[in-house]
Structure 1
Amino acid sequence: MSTKGWRDFWCFQIHGFDTAVEKLETRMKRILTGLACLFILIQFAHSQSIYSFQGLGSLNHQGMPNNVGMGEIGIGAPTVWHINTQNPANLVYNTFSTFQLGVEVDRRNFTGEDISGSDADGGLRFLGFAFPIMPGKWSSSLAILPLSSVSYNTFAQGDVDNTDSDVAQTSNNRGEGGLTNLIWGNGFNIKNIQVGVKFIYTFGSIEKTSTFSIGGVDLPTTNGSFEELQSYSDINFQFGLGYRHKFSDIRFLNFGFIYSPNSSLNGTSELSLTRLSNTGAEQDTVNLGSESIEFDLPTTVGFGMSYEKATHYKIGFDIESSLWSSAGNATTNYNNSFKFALGGSWTPDYDNVSSFWKRAKYSAGFNYHKLPYIVNNQALIDFGINFGASLPVNGYSSLDLAFKWGQLGETTNGLIKETYYKVVIGATINDRWFIKRKYD
């Protein structure tokens, strides 16, 4: 075969290989999209905290897997490679089409006065898609993140007060469900100031069941089950600002600010009472009707700052406070919440083509969170230490791993201490999905 013949042969082979790769990438994108839809239909991960009986349940961090690895910072920590769901202003840095999903496994150990136990749960926790509309000037995102999780099962027994004879009562209280945020975020670059807004549609339901038994020496035993189903759906907003001070082409100081106004979360509550036999079989159910309910979400302000050397390292912190004392509902009091997070990331050698581990990004951080809920006249404190890594995969995509060790509550004053471990496995796909090829 002539030289020209060999050249034509190899050009044909290379072109065929490129076409096969493009078809494979397209197929993988469709598969990942299908998996994402499937995950939505299955379930979101639920925290099994015993304290999730309070308010709307355990409140979940509204960041992505990469944020978890950095101690949950993100208000003032923009990134090109991942979706920022904590400050919509930072979305303007997403010049790629970015798809993220992640699963979380949560294991908890409970200790208290004459109490000990453990539980575990897991499932989909993170799902988002961001894309530039006007690269460098306007980017948008869609994300689904669980706002709160309810998953508890408690048992109580004791004498009924203000009775003439000895009357004892036992109750088994269960709760499950939670609320989910469907988020549409937009970030704009206006004269080197980043401005963002995200519209949040909150929906979901919380089901609480109390199975009780009342009886005494002169009183026959009565068994029953009281059920309450709370369903919510409403829209609220968050606004964000960002600014980047440039020291050089690779050194920056970033600032971020978020504000969420007080808003009402409207819903309905359906009540029912079921009479049970001594064996636990249902005998008859009485629907007690439904009523409109309202839960006030607090005003939230947050500030974040980070210093970075592009592709090398980043370190920053977030401060966030929510005015829960003027929120909630008419029957429950809450504390103002406060959260401080500190974290950073480091890449040994981003341009190293021979060492996979030197191109990986490693992260660590910690967070302190004073929760709004009050138990036995005492505020709950959640403290966590986080670690993470983003492993490079196929160009600008990555496999994101994170681990958190945390402690919630304490064993004094009749409280229960929860020691928990969270493992997060996520995937980030960066590509230019909406660019039409000029050459084939």
Structure 2
Amino acid sequence: MMHFVRVLLIALLLTLGSLLPAWGQSAGDGSIYSRFGVGELQSFSSSQAQALGGGGVALRSLNYTNFSNPALWSDQVLTRAEIGARFQTIESTSGQGGDSRLTAGTFDGVQFSVPLLRQKLGVAFGFVPVSRSNFRSEVQRTTSSSPFEGEELDYQVEFLGRGGLQKITGGAGYRFNDALSVGGSLDYIFGTLESQRRTSFPTGNLQEAVATEGVRLTALTATIGSHLTLSDQLRDDDNLMIGAAFTLPTTLSGERTRTIGESLDRDTLSTGVTDGDFDMPWSASVGVAYVPSEALTLTVNGSYAPWGEAESSLTTGGETSFVFPAGGPETLTDRWTMSSGVEWRPAGDDSFQGFLARTGYRLGVSYEQLYVSPDKSTTLNAVEARLGISLPTSISGTRIDLMGNVGRQGTTSQGLVQDTYYGVSARVSIGERWFQQRRLR
């Protein structure tokens, strides 16, 4: 019966995961900042780390596969599969008084890990989002260059975008002793960013014009990580953990296709294909986690990536913009993040306590300097608060994690846009013992 429940649960989650991306991508309005660079950057390590503000580079856990640091993959006891999804609403307000709203569901990735040697050597594989582009903006204009002599002509320009980058990652982590572990992963990044510029005419018998630009990108990179655990530092039986991860810089090889047509069905009048590349800089993350007892966990994390040094022979984001000029390297700046969180599990590791005592309660906050900017001297920031709960189940090794978040990014000053977003997410982590050798007694 338990095996049937597990199979049914996995099937339902896979079905939900396959449907949500398609619905979210066709939703329409999103953040205008996803127009620039390679889109709005996404990150996911584990549901536990996400609820603690993100990162989790030092967060060692037997219940989760943490993808922020491959060194942590050495700690697995159970073969584990994880999948999740999230719903988010974005409300955008411009300095000119315009606003938009998007409510969409998106896929949060799939993770799979196997302990080859229990708490010694483990491997992990995952499919996770890297960036997402989903925006729409409109501009009303008037021109005196009208085919109707002596009349001014009103027209509307609409910018739309969708797509994003995904990552397939796989690697291993190895623990040398109780204190030190290391790990590494190979990461394949791929995806398509698409933008459209549609010009329509409210009056007159004029056909609308549609210019479409699609950029297909691929790259291969790698991540290395290390983790140090120090025991009995401030009190008996406590653990002070320090983690670090470094992702190598890479070049996204791209093919840009431009199409000019008379409608959205791509009845094209002309096309053009251009090859080029886009630099993705290195990134480094450092984290500290302190566990004074089995019931309490405290974390602090930071990361940095020098996006301001990026160069590109492909101008993603189109030829013009509603907010600021073309989405090339001149609109990018260095990105850094800071986060902190706390988790409380009243029962600790005691599996014989009641349901509420075995439940995990989480709170996290984060601050980010966005990697897009109207100019090199102006930076845009994002702040976010997260509240999570981790529910135990009757299936051993399986937990259901729920999280709510609310945040704000950008500004309405200087004619820019401010986004207010809030949402919920759900993730299921299923763990079982595999590859056990049967013994006769």
Alignment of 1:357 onto 2:343: no
The alpha-carbon deviation at position 252 of structure 1 amounts to 0.7
Aligned match of 2:224: 239
C-alpha distance in 1 between matches for 2:14 and 2:229: 36
* Letter in structure 1 aligned against 2:243: G
Instruction: Report whether the alignment pairs 1:70 with 2:52.
Output: yes
Helix, strand or coil at the partner of 1:357: helix
C-alpha distance in structure 1 between counterparts of 2:17 and 2:4, whole Å: 20
Residue 30 of structure 1 aligns to a residue whose secondary structure is: helix
Deviates more, 1:171-180 or 1:344-353: 344-353
Measure, in 2, the Cα distance between the counterparts of 1:356 and 1:429.
18
- Written as runs of structure 1 = structure 2, the 5 A alignment for 1:2-401 is 24-39=1-16, 41-44=18-21, 48-112=30-94, 113-158=96-141, 170-191=156-177, 192-213=179-200, 223-247=208-232, 250-276=237-263, 284-330=267-313, 331-333=328-330, 334-350=332-348, 351=350, 353=352, 355-375=354-374, 378-393=378-393, 394-401=395-402
**Stretch of structure 1 that moved more, 398-407 or 429-438:** 429-438
Query: How far did residue 170 of structure 1 move?
Result: 2.6
Q: Which runs of 5+ in 2 are unaligned?
A: 314-327
**Deviation for aligned residue 1:301:** 1.1
Match for 2:182: what amino acid? V
SS state at 1:180 partner:
strand
Give aligned-pair identity as a percent. 21
Report the secondary structure of 2:53's partner residue: coil
Give the TM-score normalised by structure 2.
0.85
Distance 1:328 1:427, change over 3 A: farther
Distance 2:399 2:245 in 1: 28
> Aligned-pair RMSD on alpha carbons?
2.8
**Shift in alpha-carbon separation, 1:73–1:297, aligned structure 2, 3 A:** same
CA contact (8 A) 1:71 1:387 kept: no
Closer/same/farther in 2, CA of residues 313 and 102 from structure 1, 3 Å limit: same
User: How far is 1:253 from its partner?
Assistant: 0.6
Quote the residue 2:412 is aligned against.
411
Displacement of 1:159: 5.1
What is the CA distance between 1:81 and its match in structure 2?
0.6
Q: Which moved more, 1:176-185 or 1:287-296?
A: 287-296
Q: d(CA) in 2 for partners of 1:283 and 1:413?
A: 36
Secondary structure, aligned partner of 1:375: coil
CA contact 2:34–2:132 (8 Å) conserved in 1 = yes
Using structure 1 for the length normalisation, give the TM-score: 0.86
1:315-358: CA deviations, max 9, x gaps?
A: 01111000101125244221111100111211112337453111
Q: 1:227 to 1:339 in 2, by over 3 A?
A: same
Deviation at 1:187, TM superposition (A): 0.9
Q: Counterpart of 1:430 in structure 2: which amino acid?
A: G
Query: Any unmatched runs of 5+ in structure 1?
Result: 1-23
Query: Shift of the alpha carbon at 1:246?
Result: 1.4
Aligned to 1:26, what secondary structure does the other structure show? helix
Of structures 1 and 2, the larger Rg is shown by 1
Q: Secondary structure at the match of 2:82?
A: strand
Tell me if the contact between 2:30 and 2:101 (Cα under 8 Å) persists in the aligned partners: no
* Contact 2:58 2:289 (C-alpha < 8 Å) held by counterparts: yes
Name the amino acid aligned to 2:427: G
Please give the secondary structure, in 1, of the residue aligned with 2:346.
coil
In terms of fraction of residues, the more strand-rich structure is: 1
Could you tell me which amino acid in structure 2 is paired with residue 130 of structure 1? S
1:234 CA displacement: 2.2
What's 1:13 paired with?
A: none
Alpha-carbon distance in structure 2 between the residues aligned to 1:431 and 1:249:
32
The 3-state SS of whatever aligns with 2:3 is: helix
Q: Give how far 1:375 is off.
A: 2.9
Aligned 8 A contact 1:64 1:126 in 2: no
Number of residues of Structure 1 aligned to a counterpart in Structure 2: 411
Change (3 A) 1:249 1:132: farther
Query: 1:430 maps to which residue?
Result: 431
CA distance in 2 between counterparts of 1:349 and 1:206 reads 47
- Mapped to 2, the partners of 1:161 and 1:358 lie a distance apart of 72
Instruction: Answer with 111-120 or 78-87: which moved more.
Output: 111-120
Structure 1 pair 343–282 and aligned structure 2 pair: CA distance change class (3 A): closer
Q: Alpha carbons of 1:342 and 1:324: their partners in 2 closer, same or farther (altered >3 Å)?
A: same
Contact 2:130 2:167 in 1 (8 A): yes
CA contact (8 A) 2:13 2:84 kept: no
SS state at 1:67 partner: helix
Assess, with a 3 A threshold, how the Cα gap between structure 1 residues 240 and 162 changes in structure 2: closer, same or farther. Answer: farther
Residue type of the partner of 2:39? G
Q: Which amino acid aligns with 2:69?
A: N
Q: Are the counterparts in 1 of residues 144 and 152 from structure 2 also a CA contact under 8 Å?
A: no
| Partner residue, 1:11 | none
- CA contact 1:36–1:127 (8 Å) conserved in 2: no
What is the CA-CA distance between 1:415 and the residue it aligns to? 1.4
